[in-house]
Amino acid sequence: MTQGFDLVASLARGVEGRSGAWTFIRDFAADWAGAALGNGDGWTEAELDAAEARLGLQLPTALREAYVLFGRRQDLTSNHDVLLGPAELYVDDAEEALVFRHENQGAASWGILLDSLQDDDPAVFIRLDLADKSAERWEEWLERLSLCFVEIALSEFLQADGELCDFLDPDDDSFEPLETNFVRLPFPAYPVGEETRWFLGQDVLVRDDDGAAILARGRTAEAIDRVRDLIPGDWLNDHR
């Protein structure tokens, strides 16, 4: 466990730029995810070089750094949605973006616009899979790739299978106890036009998906039960 890890303070530094983002992910992995990052948790520089050669383009610095740091760490990258490996990276059919992540049922993809690949830490966009393909557009997700990887680590940790994770379809009475009993984390609202919010409680992380869903993960069974008691409702995995 990381000595004296302060999640709020570390996250505040992590959203400011690449260096802070990688420090946050390292400390979060060791303290909350239960296992410090090791050499085998990332892809090699040679594997990323091979991806560049196959694609005929240069990967942004932040993408390479994230992949080398923890790209193979499934519990922080692919519990729910899927981070593509170097050999799976591809350019979309319209040749607009480099795609690096898929929603778990194919409902959306995340990518970096090709005209921003030269940036060290470019913005990330999302494209929904629609029945009307002509209506699909790359829409802004987060302003920096390093910030996106912080969000990936938090979200994938939150959505692991098991008794420590839960989901609530909220009603209007759910949000006052959320805002009263939990600390709002210093992560910017996203995506554009919506407000996904992160909260911290005693040994628990909570995410409010713009009022559409509340997700929680406790570090212990007692912690997740406290969330269920503080935010009443029909929690999906509450079998008490």
Q: What confidence category does residue 47 fall into, taking pLDDT thresholds of 50, 70 and 90? A: very high
If you average pLDDT over residues 77-93, what whole number do you get? 97
Share of the chain above pLDDT 90, in %: 90
Say whether 211 sits in a helix, a strand or coil: coil
Contact 156, 207 (CB under 8 A): no
If you average pLDDT over residues 127-136, what whole number do you get? 90
Say whether 13 sits in a helix, a strand or coil: helix
Q: Is 161 exposed, middle or buried (0-12, 13-18, 19+ CB in 10 A)?
A: exposed
CATH number of 161-230: 3.30.310
Q: Do domains 7-152 and 161-230 have the same CATH topology?
A: no
pLDDT at 74 over 90: yes
**The domain 7-152 is classified under which CATH number: 3.30.1490, 3.30.457, 1.10.287, 3.40.1580?**
3.40.1580
Contact 169, 233 (CB under 8 A): yes
Q: Report CA 153 to chain centroid distance, whole Å.
A: 5
Please state the pTM of the whole predicted model.
Answer: 0.95
Q: Domain-by-domain residue ranges, the chain?
A: 7-152, 161-230
If you average pLDDT over residues 157-165, what whole number do you get? 91
Contact 140, 125 (CB under 8 A): yes
Q: What share of the chain is helix, strand, coil (3-state, %, to 5)?
A: 40, 20, 40
- DSSP code, position 132: S
Q: What confidence category does residue 3 fall into, taking pLDDT thresholds of 50, 70 and 90? A: low
Closest residue by Cα to residue 52 from 120, 138, 143, 117? 117
pLDDT, averaged across the chain: 95
Residue keyed to tokens 């420590």: 164
Contact 152, 221 (CB under 8 A): no
